Structure formats: C-alpha cells, structure tokens
Amino acid sequence: MFKKRFMDQRIGVLMGGLSSEREVSLKSGEAISAALSRLGYQQIPIDVDRDIALTLRREEIDVAFIALHGRYGEDGAIQGLLEVMQIPYTGSKITASAIAMDKIRSHDVFKAHQLPCPATHILEKKMAEDFQISQLPFGLPVVVKPISEGSSIGVSIVKSANEIDNALKLSFQFGSKCMIQNYISGMEVHVGILDKEALGAIEVKSKGEFYDYSAKYVPGMSMHIFPAPLPSLEYQKALDLGLKAHQALDCSAYSRVDLLIDSEMKAYILEVNTLPGMTETSLMPEIARECGIDFDTLVELILEKARTAYGETS
C-alpha cells in the first residue's frame, strides 16, 4: 500500500538535458510522465537546460522525478542543485551518483570492497600519442571506453593493434581520460535493484558485437532472456554481486548493475547505473515486469523513495 505522499504535489519530470544521452532521456521521461498521469499525479514534463533552476521555481515544482541520463543528470550535478533548492528527488544522492558515473572512482570502490572487476588500465589523453598496446599488463582484445559516459557511447572493442588509435580517438571525444579493460568473453547479465533488494537478473544477447547504443534502444537489435539462464547457485551469486555493487557505492532507491559472466561462471562488475533507462526497450522495467511489478507500479515505487533535502528520505 503506497503512502502516496506526493499525490497533491507538483511533480517535475526532468528529462532531455545536455548530455549525449539526451534522446534516450526524453523517451524515459515521456514514459514516466505518462505513467504518473495514469496514476493520477500532477506531473509537469520539463526539458532540462541551463535555466533549469529558474524553470523549477517558475513551475513551482514540489518534487523532481529525475529521468535524465549521463552528464549533469546522473553524475550528482542535478542532485546537488535540487538539494540546494530543497526539492525532493528520486534516485541516489549526490556522492553515490557522482562515483557511479565516474568509471575510475567506481572501479576503485569495487576493488576496495574486493568485488571482481576486469583488469583495467587508465590512459590520459596527453599520454596517448606515445601509448603502445604492449604497455598493457594484459593482451588483446581490449575494451576502450570513456570515463563518464553511459549507454555504451564511445565504447570500442579492439582486437588488433592497428585499431587502438581510432578507439582512443573516439573515447577522447568524451573526456581527457579513458579506461582500457581486458576483454571478457561471456554472458552479459544485468541485475535490477529496487529498494535494497535484487529483483532479478536478465541476459542480453546483442545482434552486434556487444550491448551497444543501438542494441539498447532499437527494438529488435537485442534479445532478452529472463531469468538469465544460469545454474541456480550462479544466478543467486549474480544477484548477490549486483546488490553488493549497489551497496558499495551507497546507492539508494533503484539501480541496474551490469555484469559479465565468463565460461567458467566467474562474474565481473562493469558498472552501476543509478538512473537506468525507462524506455520501451529498457531492462529495468522489463526485470520488474517479469517479477510482477508493472511499469506504473515501478514508477510509483521509485517516486515514493524520493529523497528530501540533504539526502534524507521521509
């Protein structure tokens, strides 16, 4: 039974934004707005720009449902603004959001908690000109990815030495550092976390080389299998690892944890998404639905966990 503590308040659905994931965010926001309307809430769709503080005041927003993805929305920036303005908001608080978005920092936290991650090398743009594959403590193939982008934007799989320059050039379009990781061949598994519980794990089989942008958001470009076809013990281990990763970063409300599981059934953490996609092809709603939680209920559960000013929940 929901308390429905925001039923009589103006809910700003923050979407769009300034990141490379703007189009996906608009789709997430539109789906959330529609769900809130069906549930009887007073929702105000807001396309976030640099005047967002003025918009929030003008629209007299009482609570923010954050449907942003990527920079300025998923990295603690909007969360900090909302806390200054003392507007309750959905999702994780400032620090957890910032660390989860920074792949270097989150990797360090996972390692500090003795959670398994792929072998990793960090490369700065100023050192890229002299970089050689032979400098890595692991061999090809490798995965090259930006530090603070989501939706697999800027990610490349490098199978030969002559591919590294283009991969680095692409990654450095999104920042001055990139992460190079040992490529792990295996099952791509995603764990949905809701209110301190691992709901379930889903396998994704991409038509492309990996679960890239098109596989995530273009219908028909990937196949989803729920529950992930793992032996019962390994399935539970995946759920436990996902929850541990969520907790290690001090995330709250909900998240989606991305794992790789190799042929020997060893799982590796890739990242934690503190504001996972809420589109028609998104994994978090699908996991919830397979666990008996329809989309509208999921949206309401997330709303009910909205954080009040200074990171408190009431």
Q: Assess whether 256 carries a catalytic annotation.
A: yes
Q: Give SS3 for 100.
A: helix
Q: Assess whether 183 carries a catalytic annotation.
A: no
Q: Assess whether 273 carries a catalytic annotation.
A: yes
Q: Assess whether 160 carries a catalytic annotation.
A: no
Which of 217, 222, 254, 255 is labelled catalytic?
217
Q: Assess whether 108 carries a catalytic annotation.
A: no
Which of 211, 256, 268, 282 is labelled catalytic?
256
Which of 21, 203, 212, 286 is labelled catalytic?
21
Q: Assess whether 151 carries a catalytic annotation.
A: yes
Contact 76, 105 (CB under 8 A): no
Which of 74, 83, 203, 271 is labelled catalytic?
271
The torsion region of residue 72 among left (phi > 0), alpha (psi -120 to 50) and beta comes to left
Contact 248, 110 (CB under 8 A): yes
Instruction: Please name the helix (run of DSSP H) or strand (run of DSSP E) that holds residue 73, with its range, or none.
Output: none
Which of 33, 92, 151, 252 is labelled catalytic?
151
Which of 83, 268, 277, 286 is labelled catalytic?
277
Which of 75, 83, 203, 258 is labelled catalytic?
258
Which of 273, 282, 300, 307 is labelled catalytic?
273
Picking from 110, 208, 111, the residue whose alpha carbon sits closest to that of residue 152 is 208
Three-state SS across 207-247?
CCCCCCHHHHHCCCCEEEECCCCCCHHHHHHHHHHHHHHHH
CA distance 293 to 194: 11
Q: Assess whether 312 carries a catalytic annotation.
A: no
Q: Which residues are catalytic?
A: 21, 151, 217, 256, 258, 271, 273, 277
